[in-house]
Structures are given as structure tokens and as C-alpha cells.
């Protein structure tokens, strides 16, 4: 709920700092933008003047031309890969939080689940993807979404567990004094207290979900995503095209990162 | 009418540490009793035993004629700690509602009760604010309002003003006197401060260092009901400047010193 209603004039006061923060962010962002542009120019110059062969490194201008030429394909393949990443992210998030809640509730579940999840964190995607593709067939997205799910569960589970353990002693005493049931303790104190940790887990998992979705496509299956296009373009020595799809994969990853960051900010605002 | 709290022969040991030794104490209905003593004398432990957050090793405890556990389950007491312990993800009014929420009181009813209590502690205009927007003193007032939510006959307070600056602390003491009078709840109040104990209490229970024993019980200077009913901080100021106030402070100080010998 907003504080503006309670503190008269607060909304008027907040407009000022808001504007200043916008200017401040611009001031903070421009060196990075300038650095990126300078890097691209340098890259172009090195490739053109140094006569670097295209299979080694295509110039940014060629990649940009490919992005333009392939725009409709890039958008549709990015949507497929992004969709797989999103589906796996949601599934992994729900499973990770649910598993952590169960583990926090029961010692048995904790002792069973923790090593399994930690083992899952050690499984390389490159090992999992071909196995899942064979298991679930190469005409569905299930295998790819499962790979993403496995990758996402780990950070979400670990950070949720950490959050659920962060109960302040005074809150625990209060719930005891109020004769709250274990379920009420979870609902009123543990879970809301863990929310910032859960959101941090989601933020960390979001870009990893995109990486997993792209890599999972390298191991066969439908040829409708960014990963498939990158590997087929590279196999056909169309290096500039491959790089165009790589750029799209980076953009999707950044988009997920920003979405995760935004979700975290929105959910935890107003907390001290 | 049974006493608010009745302790007889209460003993508490934590392993080899003898924390409390043979505590006998009655707190009458509506009475304000302070526990004072050096750090580690077990005064907080005694309060926690009354609250059923700690079990006595020996002795009998009755809270409003019931076992402490039954009293806790029935929400017969409200409790405030040194830290306000507000839930930062809930608004001020939602924090005050928490005890009623836990006990499944309907939303409209608990919202009305919380609004009443926020008016009582003078924070009605902050109902929708987050706790982080409030000062330490205001947070502690919210915590007191929360403790009062189930209309308890007994208020347990463990150094609730310990972390506040002196001026805020004196204002809060005046506030608490008024609230205790308006709700006619008995109060068991743990403190480190001799003036605080004297100005608030009907009786000040002075405890010795470990193992905690009751050295002496001194009459406090709590202003009478007539004064408190429309109490302003200046009235408490008058109490603080009266001769009986200094006499009571001296008595408590001597009792504390006696406990050390």
C-alpha cells in the first residue's frame, strides 16, 4: 500500500528525486553505451583493415545486415526459444519453491531433497539435453523445457531454503506467544520473510533459463529456435548469420535478466 | 477474581546455571508490577515463564487462574519485546491485526479493532504506512497496540523502551500509563531503569544477581486513576519531581545494592 496517502505531500516530494534518479541512471549508462559502440567500431576496423577471413570473425556491419535480412526469422525463433525458457522458468520456479517449502517443513524431505537438488546443479546441460531429447522424442518442446526446469530449480531451491531459515528470533517468539500453528507460522512469517530471497533466486535463474533453452536446441529436435539456427548457420559456414542469431540470443537473455530484476524490485519495494 | 499472575516457589535452571530461585509473587488484576535487577538476574526469564515461552524447573505458575500454556492458547495475555518485531511486509494496521488474524477473527471486525487501537496509541494516520517508514518509538507503539489487540487482561513487557532515547522513552511511559488505565489490564514490566520502574508501577520487584531471588518489593509512584484518566506528559513530569518519587528511587537503589551483598 502506498505511503503517499498516509504522509501528506509525499507524492509531490517523490517526483523530484524520481527525475533526478532518471538523469543519474543516464549518466551511469552512457559510459557503457559509448564503450560498446567504440568496441563495435574497433571490431569493424580490425576485421576490415586486417583482412580477417569471414569464418574467423565477420565484421559487425555484415552481422547487422544479416539481422536485417533475417528479421522475421529471428523474431519467430527468438519467440520459440524465449517461450521454452519462460515455460521452464515458471515450472522450475514453482517446483523449486514448493520443494523448499516441503524441505523446510519436514526434516525427512530436507534430507532427501537437498542432495538430489545439489546433484542436479552438478549435471551439465550438455549431458542432459541429448538424453531428454531421445526420451521425449524430437518433435516436441518437452525435452528443452525440462532441461530449463532442471537448471532453474537449483538456484530457486537454494535461495528459498536460505530465505525460509532467516526468521528473526523475535518473530518466532511472537508467533509462539500468539499460539500460531506451524502452517500459520509459514504463512504469516516464514514465506513472506523469504520473498526477497525467492526473488533473488528467480533473478539469477532467469538468464540461465535462456542459456539452457539455447544450448538444449544444439542436440537435435525441432529446428525452430535460436540454438538450432545458430548451429545450422555455423555448419553451413554462414558465419555472419550465425552471429546474427547469437546477437538475438543475447538480447533474449538480457530481456529475461531485466524482467527478473524488475520482478525483484516490484515485489520487494517498501521493505527496509 | 483470581490474580493476573500467581507464582509460588518458581525455580529455573539452565543446565548448571541457576537462573531463578524460589520466586513467590502475586500480580493483582489491573496492577502494574515492574521487575528490576542487574543483567542476568533472570527477570526476563521470569516474564518468559509467565508467557509460556520457557518452562519452570520447579514451582507453580498460574496466569489468570489457568496454566501458562492454557493462557497462551486462549490469548489471555499480550506481549511486547525489546525489539518491536513488526512484520515489515505488512502495513502498520495489518501488524496490529496480526494476533486477531492468527485467531481467525473476521476481517471487518479485526480492521475495526486495529483502527481503535491505532487511535489509542496515536498512530491512526499511519495505518497504511510500512513499519520501515516509522521511527523506533512509533514502531514500539505499534507493537504495544498489537499486544493489546485481543483485549488481554494481562500485558507482558520485556524492556519495551530499552532501545529508545530518553525523551521518547518518557513520552512512551506517559502513553503506557494512560493505556494501562484505559484498558485496566494488569502489566508485568521488565526494565533496567529505576526511574522508569518507579514512575510506572504500583509495586517494584527488586531482584538479586544470579540466582535471581526477590530481594524486596518497593511501592512505586504510579499516578492515581484520577490523574491518569486524562494524563498529559506534564503530569508524569510532576510525579518525577515529587518527593515520594525520589524516596522510592532511593528505596529501590538500596534494595538493589542489598541484593549484591
Render pLDDT for A40-97 as a digit per residue (tens, 0 to 9): 999 888 888 888 887 778 888 888 888 888 888 888 888 888 898 999 999 999 999 9
Task: Give how far B207 is from chain A: nearest CA, Å.
Answer: 25
CA distance B72 to chain A (A): 6
pLDDT at A224: 83
What pLDDT does residue B23 have?
83
Find the CB nearest A177 among B53, B91, B127.
B53
Higher per-residue confidence, A242 vs A4: A242
| Closest to B105 (Cα-Cα) out of B41, B170, B39, B151 | B151
Joined together, the cell numbers standing for residue A183 give 502452517
CB-CB contact of A136 with A146 (8 Å): yes
Lowest mean pLDDT: which of A4-8, B21-25, B132-136?
A4-8
Exposed / middle / buried, residue A251 (Cβ in 10 Å: 0-12, 13-18, 19+): middle
How does A38-50 read in b/e, with b if 16+ C-beta sit within 10 Å?
eeeeebeeebeee
Per-residue pLDDT at A38: 92
Residues of chain B above pLDDT 90, percent: 7
Residues A211 and A124: their CA atoms lie apart, in Å, by: 12
Judged against a pLDDT cut of 70, whether residue A10 lies above it is answered with: no
The average confidence (pLDDT) of chain B is: 82
pLDDT score for B106: 86
**What pLDDT does residue A93 have?**
93
* CA neighbor of B34 nearest in space, from B178, B224, B161, B121: B161
| SS3 at position A56 | coil
Q: Residue A179 and residue B88: Cβ atoms within 8 Å?
A: no
Average pLDDT for B185-194: 89
Q: Using the beta-carbon criterion (under 8 Å), do B128 and A177 form an inter-chain contact? A: no
- Mean pLDDT, rounded, for B108-114: 88
Per-residue pLDDT at A2: 40
B85 vs A170, A176, A270: nearest CB: A170
Instruction: Label residue B10 by pLDDT band (50, 70, 90).
Output: confident
If pLDDT is split at 50, 70 and 90, which confidence band does A20 have? low
The CA distance from A165 to the nearest CA of chain B, in Å, is: 16
Strands B203-207 and B214-219: antiparallel
Asked if A176's CB is within 8 angstroms of B89's CB, the reply is no
pLDDT tier at B231, thresholds 50, 70, 90? low
Banded model confidence at residue A156, pLDDT cuts 50, 70, 90 = very high
Mean pLDDT in residue range B146-159: 88
pTM of the complete model beyond 0.90: no
Mean pLDDT rounded to a whole number for chain A: 82
Q: Which of A197, A171, A159, A18 lies closest to B131, judged by CA? A: A171
User: Does residue A233 carry a pLDDT above 80?
Assistant: yes
**DSSP conformation letters of B9-25:** EEEEEETTEEEEEEEEE
Cβ pair B131:A272 closer than 8 A: yes
Q: How many residues are given for chain B?
A: 261
Residues of B with CB under 8 A from a CB of A: 51-53, 72-73, 75, 77, 79, 81, 83, 85, 87-91, 98-99, 101-103, 125-133
| Share of chain A residues as helix, strand and coil, in percent rounded to the nearest 5 | 80, 0, 20
The reported pLDDT for the residue numbered B127 is 85
Report which of residues B67 and B168 the model is more confident about: B67
CB atoms within 10 A of CB A21: 10
CA distances (Å), A158 to each of A112, A116, A206, B135, in order? Answer: 14, 12, 15, 34
The answer to whether residue A268 scores a pLDDT higher than 50 is yes
Please give the average per-residue pLDDT across A213-226, as a whole number: 82
d(CA A166, CA B170): 34
Confidence band (pLDDT; 50, 70, 90) for B148? confident
Instruction: Note whether B98 contacts A188, CB cutoff 8 Å.
Output: yes
Region A211-219: mean pLDDT is: 86
Question: Does A196 score more than 60 pLDDT?
Answer: yes
Query: For position A16, what pLDDT does the model report?
Result: 44
Using CB atoms within 10 Å of the CB of residue A23, give its burial: 0 to 12 exposed, 13 to 18 middle, 19+ buried. Answer: exposed
Q: Tell me, what's the ipTM?
A: 0.81
Cell numbers 513488526 label which residue?
B86
Dist CA A197 CA A176 (whole Å): 24
Amino acid at each position: 500500500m502506498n505511503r503517499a496517502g498516509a504522509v501528506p505531500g509525499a507524492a509531490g516530494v517523490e517526483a523530484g528525486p524520481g527525475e533526478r534518479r532518471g538523469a543519474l541512471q543516464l549518466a551511469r549508462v552512457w559510459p557503457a553505451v559509448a564503450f560498446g559502440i567504440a568496441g563495435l567500431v574497433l571490431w569493424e576496423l580490425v576485421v576490415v583493415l586486417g583482412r580477417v577471413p569471414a569464418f574467423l570473425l565477420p565484421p559487425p556491419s555484415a552481422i547487422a545486415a544479416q539481422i536485417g535480412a533475417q528479421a522475421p526469422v529471428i523474431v519467430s525463433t527468438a519467440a520459440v526459444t524465449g517461450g521454452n525458457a519462460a515455460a521452464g522458468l515458471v515450472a522450475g520456479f514453482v517446483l523449486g519453491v514448493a520443494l523448499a517449502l516441503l524441505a523446510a517443513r519436514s526434516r525427512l524431505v530436507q534430507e532427501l531433497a537437498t542432495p538430489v537438488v545439489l546433484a542436479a546443479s552438478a549435471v551439465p546441460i550438455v549431458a542432459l539435453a541429448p538424453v531428454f531429447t531421445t526420451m521425449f522424442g524430437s518433435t516436441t518442446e518437452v525435452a528443452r523445457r525440462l532441461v530449463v526446469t532442471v537448471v532453474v530449480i537449483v538456484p530457486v531451491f537454494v535461495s528459498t531454503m536460505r530465505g525460509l531459515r532467516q526468521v528473526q528470533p523475535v518473530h518466532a517468539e511472537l508467533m509462539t506467544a500468539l499460539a500460531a500453528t506451524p502452517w500459520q507460522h509459514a504463512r504469516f512469517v516464514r514465506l513472506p520473510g523469504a520473498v526477497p530471497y525467492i526473488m533473488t533466486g528467480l533473478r539469477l535463474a532467469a538468464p540461465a533459463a535462456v542459456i539452457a533453452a539455447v544450448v538444449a536446441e544444439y542436440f537435435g529436435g525441432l529446428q525452430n529456435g535460436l540454438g538450432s539456427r545458430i548451429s545450422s548457420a555455423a555448419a553451413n559456414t554462414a558465419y555472419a548469420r550465425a552471429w546474427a542469431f547469437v546477437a538475438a540470443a543475447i538480447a533474449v537473455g538480457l530481456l529475461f535478466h531485466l524482467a527478473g530484476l524488475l520482478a525483484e524490485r516490484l515485489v520487494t519495494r517498501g521493505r527496509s | 477474581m483470581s490474580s493476573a499472575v500467581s507464582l509460588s516457589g518458581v525455580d529455573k535452571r539452565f543446565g548448571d546455571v541457576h537462573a531463578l530461585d524460589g520466586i513467590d509473587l502475586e500480580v493483582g488484576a489491573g496492577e502494574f508490577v515492574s521487575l528490576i535487577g542487574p543483567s542476568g538476574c533472570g527477570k526476563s526469564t521470569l516474564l518468559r515463564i509467565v508467557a509460556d515461552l520457557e518452562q519452570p524447573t520447579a514451582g507453580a505458575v498460574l496466569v489468570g487462574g489457568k496454566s501458562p500454556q492454557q493462557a497462551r492458547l486462549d490469548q489471555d495475555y499480550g506481549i511486547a519485546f525489546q525489539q518491536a518485531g513488526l512484520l515489515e511486509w505488512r502495513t502498520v494496521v495489518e501488524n496490529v491485526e496480526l494476533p486477531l488474524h492468527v485467531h481467525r477473527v473476521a476481517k471487518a471486525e479485526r480492521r475495526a479493532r486495529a483502527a481503535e487501537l491505532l487511535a489509542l496509541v496515536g498512530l491512526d494516520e499511519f495505518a497504511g504506512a510500512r513499519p520501515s517508514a516509522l521511527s523506533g518509538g512509533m514502531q514500539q507503539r505499534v507493537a504495544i497496540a498489537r499486544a493489546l489487540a485481543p483485549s488481554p487482561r494481562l500485558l507482558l513487557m520485556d524492556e519495551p523502551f530499552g532501545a529508545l532515547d530518553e525523551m521518547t522513552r518518557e513520552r512512551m511511559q506517559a502513553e503506557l500509563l494512560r493505556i494501562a488505565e484505559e484498558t485496566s489490564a494488569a502489566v508485568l514490566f521488565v526494565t533496567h531503569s529505576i526511574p522508569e520502574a518507579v514512575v510506572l508501577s504500583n509495586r517494584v520487584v527488586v531482584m538479586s544477581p544470579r540466582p535471581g531471588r526477590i530481594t524486596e518489593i518497593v511501592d512505586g509512584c504510579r499516578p492515581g486513576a484520577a490523574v491518569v484518566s486524562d494524563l498529559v506528559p506534564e503530569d508524569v513530569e510532576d510525579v518525577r519531581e515529587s518527593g515520594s518519587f525520589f524516596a522510592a528511587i532511593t528505596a529501590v537503589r538500596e534494595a538493589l545494592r542489598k541484593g549484591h551483598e
